[in-house]
Structure 1
Amino acid sequence: MNSFNKRTAVRIAVVSALLAALASPVAWFVTYKRAEDGTVWLAIDESRRLLHHFGAIDLTGLDAGDNARKAADVLAGGLFDIAEIYDQEGLKLAHAMTEEGQAVEQQLPSHARPTYRAGFHESFRLEDTRWALRVFVPLRGAADADRITGYFEGVRVVPPWQREQLRANAFSAALMVGLAAVLCGSAIYPVVVRLSADNERKAREILDSHLSMMEALGRAVAMRDSDTGTHNFRVAWIAARIGERLDLAGRAMQSLIVGSFLHDVGKISIPDAILLKSGKLDAEESKIMHTHVAHGEEIVSGIGWLEDAHAIVAAHHEKWDGSGYPRKLSGDEIPLSARIFSVADVFDALSSKRPYKEPMSFEATMSILEADTGSHFDPHVMTAFRPIAREVFNCLGSCNEDDVRRLLEERVRFHFGI
């Protein structure tokens, strides 16, 4: 199992556990309350049936008291431990209770004369931790359903077996919900892993095509200017090494690599007579050569992924003291990636062999860079580069073109996640 799959498994497991921990108590509570309400409404319905049977619904006649007492005696010996029946004025007509009811009557809270119009119930715990239910039922005659004809109040001390059954049912529901959450997480994991693998594969394919585009543009420039071929690979690798020293990562590092590789892409538009001229350019020719920056910006702008190269393409000829071109930016106005590239570009230009010159020694190369620090180069970037400069020089000095390609490819794969 790779690191991504491990992280995914852990995250799904944590989420599943949290869902189970949150949902299970809710399921327990809802199931318990529903069972409690079911018990209450069963008691209410059964009490109404018995009250109808004994004629204790319409409590306004001469025999209302007798009917109420008969009904109360039956109810107190069946569903309830205490049964009380009141007339429509709230006056008690009958009162009956079992031995259990007598034992708990003193623990029940008192209440005012009944005047309620809808049934309800109370639930409370007795001193011996037992659970008791108290129901309040308004009685209505058959002729006029809106007229209250009396009231019934009953207390049931829930036996331990029924209480345990309610708890067991609630626990079973909570367990099922928790298990469902865990099973859902288990079912989701392979789907997430597969979708992620597909997305990663597609992302790599897109990235590969982008890098191929980058290299194709680099080769196109190299065909016009032989000096820029291997130089693109070397300078992009050096820039990446400096960027790592400055803790660049992610998009910033990717932009640095792409921009360094494509810094001279605008040279495609420069006439051969100027681009390939062996001697020094005159003022007009230099002016035309300088336009390669603007042409490069036009090439990389508006093409999505290539826009990452814009900062370096636009500012790779700017200098720390503001004497560069085309915008004469200075100091921190110059993008950091362009300041890093500037050091990498000049170091490679001086230390590598070109058709018109031999490579300079490490000491001579660094002497020039040190002399221009604070004018051409950012001192902070030079501070990051100095500790690795000798290693970079020795590494590139022993590399052919294929070796340099492999060096850059290694950093590209690392920073682009390929």
Structure 2
Amino acid sequence: MNVFKKKAARRIALVSVLLALVASPIAGFVAREQAEEEAVSFAIEESDRLLRYHKTIEFDGAQATKTAQSAAEVLAGGLFDIVEIYNRHGAKLAETTTAAGERVESVLPRHHRPMQRTASYESLNPGNNLWVLRIFVPLKDTNGAIAGYFEGVRVVPDWQREQILFDALVTALMVGLASLICGGVLYPVVVYLAADNEAKARDVLESHIAMMEALGRAIAKRDSDTGAHNYRVAWISATLGEAAGLSGSTMQSLIAGSFLHDAGKIGIPDAILLKPGRLDDDEMATMRQHVALGEEIVSGAGWLDGAKDVVAAHHEKWDGSGYPRGLAGEDIPLAARVFAIADVFDALCSQRPYKAPLPFDETMEILGRGRGSHFDPQLLDRFTVMARAIHARTASTSEDEARTLMEQLVRKHFEL
């Protein structure tokens, strides 16, 4: 199992467990409330049915108390342990209490004279592990007017309470199990989608890198007979960048910038770019415009934006004497300072149409003279330690060999 799958498994498991821990109590509570409301609804319906059946809806007149008492006795002992019936003014007409009702009546909270227009109930826990439901029902006559009020108190028996609690527990466990199963079902889906997305992202990235290489080779071939310089200088830059602690997007920017450092030369006339002799002042001014042109090319190009640090600053010098902005010291982006060393080193060590490669020692002597003026002193010191091994690896490499070297670092730092 790779790192992503382990992370996905842990996170989905964590979310599933948390969901189960949160949803299960809520589901249990809702199930308990629902069972309670169903019991109350049934009690209300039954009381209303019995009252209507005995034609006891009318509680006015001389027989009101007797009628109410008769109705209360019918209702008490079945669904209710305390039954109280009031007239429409809220005055009590009758009360009947079972033995269970007598045990709880004294501990029940007092209530105001019933005057409500709709049925309601209270769920009470008066202590001693008792659960009591108190129901208030307005009684209406045939015209829909309030004729009286009914109050019923039910001491929920142990078996019913246990059944409700058991059903709530089962509901909670089912919801918790469903949450865990859902997480198990989601895991392969997430892994598949992530793998598919990763594959597509890799394809896009590889096409970007291929386009970057093609553009880099096209630029190199304008003033050189090979594209190997771009591969070598990118590999050298990345190797020095690793030693300097660069990684992630910073390293990716260094690699892209190394390939495209001379992108602006596309806009330089061939008469100046390919001139075999020394450039005059005007020609040199034109040549130096390749930095600004290159910056325009890579700016706003999405993933190539990172190359801008190297493209825009690879001709800056540590002492501020470079161009185009005259940046100095650490104001020069680190990637550009790394690249400057790699670029000059490879240029001195490489065969070019207009020059032979310099020996390693002479190359290092020239670089040393630029310490603190052209190059970042600390980076150059770090490079000096690595230089001989780098020279042995890159000297006389063909374009294909240099490309292979670079591909290894590209795959490593672009996570391909």
Map 1:159-308 to 2 at 5 A. 159-226=157-224, 229-308=227-306
Contact kept, 8 Å, 2:72 with 2:83, in 1: the verdict is: yes
1:107 is paired with a residue whose SS is coil
Contact kept, 8 Å, 2:31 with 2:167, in 1: the verdict is: yes
Provide closer, same or farther for how the CA distance between residues 2 and 100 of structure 1 changes in structure 2, counting only shifts above 3 A: same
Letter in 1 for 2:190: V
1:365 CA displacement: 4.0
Please, which of 344, 347, 351 is the counterpart of residue 346 of structure 1?
344
Match of 1:357 in 2: 356
Q: Which moved more, 1:89-98 or 1:281-290?
A: 281-290
Give the distance between the partners of 1:59 and 1:122, measured in 2 at CA: 25
Contact kept, 8 Å, 2:224 with 2:352, in 1: the verdict is: no
Letter in 1 for 2:100: E
Provide closer, same or farther for how the CA distance between residues 158 and 190 of structure 1 changes in structure 2, counting only shifts above 3 A: same
2:227 is paired with a residue whose SS is helix
Give the distance between the partners of 2:243 and 2:118, measured in 1 at CA: 78
Contact kept, 8 Å, 1:51 with 1:71, in 2: the verdict is: yes
Q: Which moved more, 1:251-260 or 1:275-284?
A: 275-284
Provide closer, same or farther for how the CA distance between residues 380 and 93 of structure 1 changes in structure 2, counting only shifts above 3 A: farther
1:351 CA displacement: 4.1
Letter in 2 for 1:378: D
1:36 CA displacement: 0.4
- Asked if 1:121 is matched to 2:124, the reply is no
Match of 2:147 in 1: 149
Count matched residues: 415
1:283 CA displacement: 2.4
1:373-417 per-position Cα deviation (integer Å, ceiling 9, x unaligned): 332223454465455445434433485544432221111111111
1:234 CA displacement: 1.7
Match of 1:97 in 2: 97
1:260 CA displacement: 0.7
Provide closer, same or farther for how the CA distance between residues 383 and 112 of structure 1 changes in structure 2, counting only shifts above 3 A: farther
Contact kept, 8 Å, 1:54 with 1:67, in 2: the verdict is: no
Give the distance between the partners of 2:294 and 2:89, measured in 1 at CA: 97
1:291 is paired with a residue whose SS is helix
Give the distance between the partners of 1:48 and 1:274, measured in 2 at CA: 105
Letter in 2 for 1:327: R
Provide closer, same or farther for how the CA distance between residues 384 and 171 of structure 1 changes in structure 2, counting only shifts above 3 A: farther
Give the distance between the partners of 1:195 and 1:8, measured in 2 at CA: 12
Match of 2:67 in 1: 67
Q: Which runs of 5+ in 1 are unaligned?
A: none
2:127 is paired with a residue whose SS is coil
Give the distance between the partners of 1:133 and 1:193, measured in 2 at CA: 51
Contact kept, 8 Å, 2:123 with 2:134, in 1: the verdict is: yes
Match of 2:412 in 1: 414
Contact kept, 8 Å, 1:120 with 1:135, in 2: the verdict is: yes
Identity of aligned residues (%): 57
Give the distance between the partners of 2:384 and 2:57, measured in 1 at CA: 101
Contact kept, 8 Å, 2:254 with 2:310, in 1: the verdict is: yes
Give the distance between the partners of 1:365 and 1:124, measured in 2 at CA: 93
Contact kept, 8 Å, 1:339 with 1:378, in 2: the verdict is: yes
Provide closer, same or farther for how the CA distance between residues 278 and 125 of structure 1 changes in structure 2, counting only shifts above 3 A: same
Match of 1:323 in 2: 321
Contact kept, 8 Å, 2:228 with 2:398, in 1: the verdict is: no
Give the distance between the partners of 2:271 and 2:83, measured in 1 at CA: 114
Q: Which moved more, 1:330-339 or 1:21-30?
A: 330-339
Give the distance between the partners of 1:322 and 1:398, measured in 2 at CA: 34
Match of 2:107 in 1: 107
Provide closer, same or farther for how the CA distance between residues 64 and 332 of structure 1 changes in structure 2, counting only shifts above 3 A: same
1:224 CA displacement: 2.5
Match of 2:10 in 1: 10
Give the distance between the partners of 2:209 and 2:95, measured in 1 at CA: 92
1:370 CA displacement: 4.1
TM-score (normalised: structure 1): 0.90
Q: Which runs of 5+ in 2 are unaligned?
A: none
Provide closer, same or farther for how the CA distance between residues 47 and 291 of structure 1 changes in structure 2, counting only shifts above 3 A: same
1:288-311 per-position Cα deviation (integer Å, ceiling 9, x unaligned): 322322332343344433333222
Match of 1:58 in 2: 58
1:124-160 per-position Cα deviation (integer Å, ceiling 9, x unaligned): 22322121111112222222x2x33222111111111
Give the distance between the partners of 1:369 and 1:51, measured in 2 at CA: 108
1:32 CA displacement: 0.9
Match of 1:87 in 2: 87
Q: Which moved more, 1:236-245 or 1:258-267?
A: 236-245
Provide closer, same or farther for how the CA distance between residues 45 and 202 of structure 1 changes in structure 2, counting only shifts above 3 A: same
Letter in 2 for 1:107: V
Letter in 2 for 1:286: M
Letter in 2 for 1:357: A
Give the distance between the partners of 1:371 and 1:107, measured in 2 at CA: 99
Give the distance between the partners of 1:214 and 1:230, measured in 2 at CA: 14
Letter in 2 for 1:24: S
